[in-house]
Amino acid sequence: MTSSGRFKTVLAARLAAGLVAFSLSFMTTVAPAADVPLVVGSIGVGKAKPEVEGELRSLLRAELASAEFSRVRTSERYVLSATLVRLDSVQSAAAARATCVVSVAILRHGSTLHALVNGRATAEGAEAPIVRRDALRAAVHSAMVRVPKALR
């Protein structure tokens, strides 16, 4: 394994540990849908603008509402914590390009890491703010489509 690969592995492990610690200290829940075994917990956006946190939370709730949990057979409840790992854009004369990475931790009993899923997306378009929102939306979707399978 290269030093770059080890760095990424260590970074991922530290991110997971940070998500667990952060979610325990700042847990906020939302009333779950009747058949959804998840509640949204902490949201971390790092140095991103504060409004990104609200947008990320809203996207997570929308994805939870539309996710297919019919194959998930569990009586346990889970807390979903998310961290915006990367959201950046580049504007050229002709177009803008944004890349987003979101990490979603699924915690059992609010503290035990059950699964960690990542979503990644790139969007292109005319204006940076629009492609940033599109990249964020697509990265959240990319992560959240894996959540029901992670609970099986």
| Each residue's pLDDT tens digit, 105-131 | 999 877 899 999 999 999 999 999 999
Residue ranges of the alpha helices (H) in the chain? 3-25, 50-66, 128-144, 147-151
- DSSP class per residue in 48-78: S-HHHHHHHHHHHHHHHHHS--TT---S--E
In degrees, rounded to 5, the angle at the alpha carbon of residue 126 between the alpha carbons of residues 125 and 132 is: 55
Higher pLDDT, 3 or 140: 140
For residue 6, pLDDT over 60 is answered with no
In degrees, rounded to 5, the angle at the alpha carbon of residue 12 between the alpha carbons of residues 116 and 5 is: 125
Location of structure tokens 């019919």:
70
Copy the structure tokens of residue 71. 């194959």
The distance from CA 11 to its chain's CA centroid, rounded to whole angstroms, is 16
pLDDT band at 134 (very low <50, low <70, confident <90, very high): very high
Under CATH, to which class is 3-151 assigned?
A: alpha beta
pLDDT band at 22 (very low <50, low <70, confident <90, very high): very low
| Alpha carbons 68 and 3: distance in angstroms, whole number | 39
| Each residue's pLDDT tens digit, 31-61 | 334 466 788 999 999 988 889 999 999 999 9
pLDDT band at 3 (very low <50, low <70, confident <90, very high): low
| Alpha carbons 123 and 141: distance in angstroms, whole number | 13
